[in-house]
């Protein structure tokens, strides 16, 4: 009887909860019509809001009563104030107190620049009497003073605020010296003038000799036979490398550029250094041995010929043809349109058809005995049960293998409004028990888009592929977690401890504490933070060093790891609530079985290696419009539309990112591979 009474009470409470939810739904669904009927009186609006809030509070209480009746722990719900902060806390629009920060920052920067210019101008006046000896002309650009002779830059001078002196350098600007007085200036010029003059004289002589060589009959004849030509380059904006001429095919397709490097005191071919005049002239004479001068069509045709010859020699393909009484001839025929490799009967009869390589496109076609095209071989597709089985394996990947001599690479992303604002590659070294955390900036610009846009446009699988291309690492699994789950998980764990190495100030980040709105500010030190406070630390980015946010995010992950590692089987309620939260807010391709195994592996980690891709190592910053126009910030006026701020690899060398990461992790790239 008691048993029935207990569950009857549960039934009644359940009905009450459903009725309250229904009432709330009706209230919310009719809000638009109610608001149209309301006056603009704030009292009416406040009364309506209070009705909704009271209904929600009552519903939450009854839900917890119901959970208690069926022996489930009660749960907490975010307050209205928390939800309001979640919506408004990190608005990117600049308003409120932050304009005072910006105003002073602008004033301070202008004052600093004026002070530097004043010092430099004073120095410029003081050295005027000494310039006539070497017939120098002065040219000042921004905060740098240049001395020129015969339109060549010899020296540069700029003010050093830290030492309150002038820093002097001579072309090509690899050796800096401190200038305190005019006497120091005189000594510096006397010691270095002849070095720079000799550099310019040698470069001028070598460049002229190479130009004469290029115009010689011997080279002209050689280039004509190779169907290439040279085109002089008259405009040069690079201070250290002077481009001399481009090498093009007869149809004007670009092949390469020959330039002179002042820093290396020799010639470059496609940015590769070859040395002085005597060495580069031999390179030019045999240029086809050093760069590929073939047309794209010629490259494709040659590759197609190699492919056909390779398949003709393949033992399996040979047996396939022999079983049918044929072989593929390796002696090609050619007409004005195609190169033919014939299928011939063993008795040396007439061929029944051919593989035909088109001389204009390099594409391979299947032709019959009358040389009429049947189809392009790339349009032929194979359908079999084996292929369908392979597709099933791709759609349903096996569990992650735990090879203790390998690495496990995972993609961890923090999402907000369908954008991936936090991108971290976690590389788990199972042998040495090290977790490498690699922060990948969302502002990296790849193929016309910033990284964080790829997830919004193409989803997690394509986003994972893009990260694999950029880092050079194969990603085993991905985890995309919403910011609200981030808050809930940390609250479930009872908060985490974070140490800030410097003050964190972001006047654009609105926060609400004890009902009072203010802006984000944390002094350096150690803090115990709840979910919302941790989110603030993770997302603040204005008025802080560019990549300091990545460092804070890595600290949060390490702190979460330490907190989760402390859990045991007795903490079932905590684990259950975390899993329940992640089911709602986590997008991943890992199974529950895999995740439990991974959790066990991660718990044993005792070392962390934090790596941040930044402008301090392998990246450089620019703007989209400047990048496409090949300009620098100094080349444009203040009102020029520079485009969006972006990050790209130094020298646009995408392979250098993987090289840098492998070096930072101190492993060989061949060991870092996918494990599934």
State pLDDT tens for residues 80-90.
Answer: 444 444 444 44
Has residue 606 been placed in a domain? yes
**What is the CB neighbour count within 10 angstroms for residue 367?**
19
- Shared domain for 650 and 512, answered yes or no, is yes
Give the whole-number percent of the chain exceeding pLDDT 70: 75
| Residue 137, CB-side half-sphere exposure with 13 Å CA sphere | 7
- Shared domain for 150 and 113, answered yes or no, is yes
Question: Contacts by 650-658 with C-beta closer than 8 Å and gap 24+?
Answer: 650/618, 650/619, 650/620, 654/469, 654/470, 655/472, 656/618, 657/470, 657/471, 657/472, 657/613, 657/618, 658/471, 658/472, 658/473
- Nearest by Cα to 44 from 34, 55, 54: 34
Has residue 210 been placed in a domain? no
- Please report the pLDDT score of residue 153 as a whole number: 87
CB 70 within 8 A of CB 10: yes
Tell me the two tokens of residue 486. 């981030």
- Nearest by Cα to 545 from 609, 500, 604, 585: 500
Q: Are strands 434-439 and 607-612 parallel, antiparallel or unpaired?
A: parallel
Burial class (CB in 10 A: 0-12, 13-18, 19+), 318: middle
To 5 degrees, how large is the angle CA 600–CA 424–CA 653? Answer: 135
Residue 149 has pLDDT above 80, yes or no: yes
- Shared domain for 330 and 228, answered yes or no, is no
Residue 107 has pLDDT above 70, yes or no: yes
Tell whether the torsion through CA atoms of 611, 615, 617 and 618 is positive or negative: positive
656 or 599, which is more confident: 656
**Across residues 454-477, what is the average pLDDT?**
88
Residue 105 has pLDDT above 90, yes or no: no
CATH number at residue 532: 3.40.630.190
Reported confidence tier of residue 343, pLDDT bands at 50, 70, 90: very high
- Shared domain for 487 and 611, answered yes or no, is yes
**Across residues 627-653, what is the average pLDDT?**
85
- Shared domain for 495 and 418, answered yes or no, is yes
Distance between CA atoms of 108 and 111, rounded to whole angstroms? 5
**Across residues 295-299, what is the average pLDDT?**
73
Name the pTM for this structure. 0.42
Has residue 402 been placed in a domain? no
Instruction: Please enumerate in sequence order all residues whose Cβ is within 8 A of that of 90, keeping only pairs 6 or more positions apart, or say none.
Output: 509, 510, 536, 539, 540
Q: Are strands 477-482 and 407-416 parallel, antiparallel or unpaired?
A: parallel
CB 176 within 8 A of CB 169: yes
- Please report the pLDDT score of residue 341 as a whole number: 92
Mean predicted lDDT score pLDDT of the chain: 75
**Across residues 656-670, what is the average pLDDT?**
71
CB 330 within 8 A of CB 339: no
CB 448 within 8 A of CB 643: no
Lowest-confidence pick of 29-38, 59-68, 107-116: 29-38
452 or 510, which is more confident: 452
- Please report the pLDDT score of residue 316 as a whole number: 73
**Across residues 198-215, what is the average pLDDT?**
90
**Across residues 33-61, what is the average pLDDT?**
52
- Shared domain for 616 and 542, answered yes or no, is yes
According to the per-residue pLDDT averaged within each range, which of 29-33, 250-254, 275-279, 430-434 is highest?
275-279
Has residue 21 been placed in a domain? yes
- Nearest by Cα to 594 from 399, 411, 453, 448: 399
**What is the Cα Rg of the chain in Å?**
35
- Please report the pLDDT score of residue 607 as a whole number: 82
Has residue 401 been placed in a domain? no
First to last CA, the chain: 56
- Shared domain for 193 and 248, answered yes or no, is no
Residue 520 has pLDDT above 50, yes or no: yes
Phi, psi of 489 (to 5 degrees): -60, -45
Distance between CA atoms of 176 and 333, rounded to whole angstroms? 67
Count of domains in the chain? 5
- Shared domain for 450 and 569, answered yes or no, is yes
In this predicted model, what pLDDT tens digit does every residue of 530-581 receive, in sequence order? 888 888 888 777 666 667 777 888 788 888 877 877 777 677 777 777 777 7
- Shared domain for 34 and 152, answered yes or no, is no
Residue 465 has pLDDT above 80, yes or no: yes
- Please report the pLDDT score of residue 93 as a whole number: 45
- Nearest by Cα to 610 from 421, 439, 429: 439
- Shared domain for 285 and 301, answered yes or no, is no
- Shared domain for 463 and 537, answered yes or no, is yes
Q: 409-439: buried (b, 16+ CB within 10 Å) or exposed (e) per residue?
A: bbbbbbbbeebbbbbbbbbbbbeeebbbbbb
Distance between CA atoms of 563 and 431, rounded to whole angstroms? 23
Domain termination site, one of 139, 171, 201: 201
Number of residues assigned to the chain: 676
Residue 457 has pLDDT above 70, yes or no: yes
- Please report the pLDDT score of residue 62 as a whole number: 57
- Please report the pLDDT score of residue 67 as a whole number: 54
Residue with tokens 């002229």: 208
Instruction: Please enumerate in sequence order all residues whose Cβ is within 8 A of that of 589, keeping only pairs 6 or more positions apart, or say none.
Output: 397, 460, 461, 477, 478
420 or 380, which is more confident: 420
Has residue 440 been placed in a domain? yes
- Please report the pLDDT score of residue 340 as a whole number: 93
**Across residues 279-284, what is the average pLDDT?**
83
- Please report the pLDDT score of residue 545 as a whole number: 67
**Which domain covers residue 549, as residue numbers?**
407-669
Lowest-confidence pick of 48-52, 125-129, 228-232, 629-633: 48-52
Domain termination site, one of 289, 315, 341: 289
- Nearest by Cα to 172 from 148, 194, 191, 196: 196
- Shared domain for 439 and 567, answered yes or no, is yes
Has residue 517 been placed in a domain? yes
615 or 566, which is more confident: 615
431 or 169, which is more confident: 169
In this predicted model, what pLDDT tens digit does every residue of 425-437 receive, in sequence order? 988 887 778 888 8
CB 409 within 8 A of CB 601: no
- Nearest by Cα to 488 from 600, 584, 591: 584
Lowest-confidence pick of 70-74, 133-137, 409-413, 454-458: 70-74
Has residue 146 been placed in a domain? yes
In this predicted model, what pLDDT tens digit does every residue of 313-335 receive, in sequence order? 888 788 788 888 888 998 999 88
Question: Contacts by 203-208 with C-beta closer than 8 Å and gap 24+?
Answer: 203/242, 203/260, 203/262, 203/265, 206/260, 206/267, 206/276, 206/277, 207/242, 207/244, 207/260
- Nearest by Cα to 411 from 482, 480, 469: 480
283 or 670, which is more confident: 283
Residue 283 has pLDDT above 90, yes or no: no
């Amino acid at each position: 009887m008691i048993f029935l009474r207990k569950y009857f009470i549960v039934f009644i409470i359940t009905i009450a909860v459903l009725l309250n939810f229904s009432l709330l739904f009706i209230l919310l669904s009719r809000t638009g019509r109610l608001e149209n009927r309301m006056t603009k009186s704030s009292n009416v609006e406040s009364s309506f809001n209070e009705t909704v809030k009271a209904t929600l509070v009552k519903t939450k209480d009854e839900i917890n009563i119901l959970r208690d009746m069926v022996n489930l722990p009660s749960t907490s719900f975010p307050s209205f104030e928390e939800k309001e902060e979640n919506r408004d806390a990190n608005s990117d629009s600049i308003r409120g107190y932050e304009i005072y920060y910006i105003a002073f920052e602008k004033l301070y920067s202008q004052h600093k620049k004026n002070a530097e210019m004043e010092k430099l101008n004073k120095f410029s006046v003081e050295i005027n009497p000494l310039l006539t000896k070497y017939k120098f002309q002065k040219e000042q650009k921004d905060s740098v003073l240049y001395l020129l002779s015969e339109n060549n830059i010899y020296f540069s001078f700029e003010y050093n605020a830290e030492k309150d002196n002038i820093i002097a350098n001579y072309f090509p600007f690899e050796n800096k010296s401190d200038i305190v007085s005019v006497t120091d200036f005189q000594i510096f010029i006397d010691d270095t003038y002849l070095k720079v003059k000799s550099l310019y004289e040698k470069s001028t002589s070598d460049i002229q000799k190479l130009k004469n060589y290029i115009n010689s009959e011997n080279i002209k004849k050689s280039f004509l036979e190779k169907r290439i030509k040279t085109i002089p380059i008259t405009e040069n904006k690079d201070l250290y490398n002077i481009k001399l001429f481009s090498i093009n095919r007869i149809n004007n397709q670009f092949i390469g550029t020959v330039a002179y490097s002042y820093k290396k005191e020799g010639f470059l071919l496609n940015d590769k250094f070859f040395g002085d005049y005597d060495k580069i002239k031999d390179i030019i004479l045999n240029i086809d041995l050093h760069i590929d001068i073939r047309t794209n069509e010629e490259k494709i045709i040659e590759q197609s010929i190699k492919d056909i010859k390779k398949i003709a020699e393949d033992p399996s393909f040979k047996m396939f043809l022999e079983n049918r009484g044929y072989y593929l001839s390796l002696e090609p025929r050619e007409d004005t349109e195609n190169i033919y490799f014939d299928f011939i009967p063993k008795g040396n009869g007439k061929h029944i058809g051919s593989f035909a390589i088109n001389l204009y496109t390099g594409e391979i076609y299947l032709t019959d005995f009358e040389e009429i095209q049947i189809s392009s071989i790339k349009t032929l597709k194979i359908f079999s049960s084996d292929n369908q089985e392979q597709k099933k394996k791709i759609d349903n990947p096996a569990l992650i293998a735990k090879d203790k001599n390998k690495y496990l690479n995972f993609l961890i992303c923090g999402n907000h409004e369908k954008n991936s604002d936090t991108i971290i590659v976690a590389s788990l070294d199972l042998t040495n028990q090290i977790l490498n955390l690699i922060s990948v900036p969302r502002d990296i610009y790849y193929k016309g888009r910033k990284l964080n846009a790829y997830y919004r446009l193409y989803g997690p699988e394509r986003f994972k592929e893009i990260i694999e291309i950029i880092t050079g690492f194969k990603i085993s699994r991905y985890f995309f977690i919403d910011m609200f789950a981030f808050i809930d998980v940390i609250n479930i764990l009872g908060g985490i401890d974070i140490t800030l190495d410097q003050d964190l100030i972001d006047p654009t980040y609105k926060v609400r504490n004890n009902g009072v709105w203010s802006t984000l500010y944390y002094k350096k030190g150690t803090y115990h933070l709840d979910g919302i406070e941790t989110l603030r630390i993770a997302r603040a980015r204005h008025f802080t060093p560019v990549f300091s946010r990545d460092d804070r995010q890595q600290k949060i992950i390490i702190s979460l790891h330490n907190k989760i590692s402390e859990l045991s089987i007795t903490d079932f309620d905590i684990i259950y609530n975390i899993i329940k939260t992640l089911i709602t807010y986590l997008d991943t391709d890992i199974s529950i079985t895999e995740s439990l195994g991974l959790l066990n592996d991660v718990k044993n980690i005792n070392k962390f290696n934090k790596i941040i891709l930044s402008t301090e190592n392998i990246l450089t910053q620019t703007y989209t419009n400047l990048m496409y126009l090949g300009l620098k910030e100094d080349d444009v006026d203040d009102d020029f539309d520079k485009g969006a701020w972006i990050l790209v690899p130094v020298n646009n060398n995408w392979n250098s990112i993987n090289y840098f990461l492998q070096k930072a992790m101190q492993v060989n790239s061949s060991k870092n591979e996918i494990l599934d």
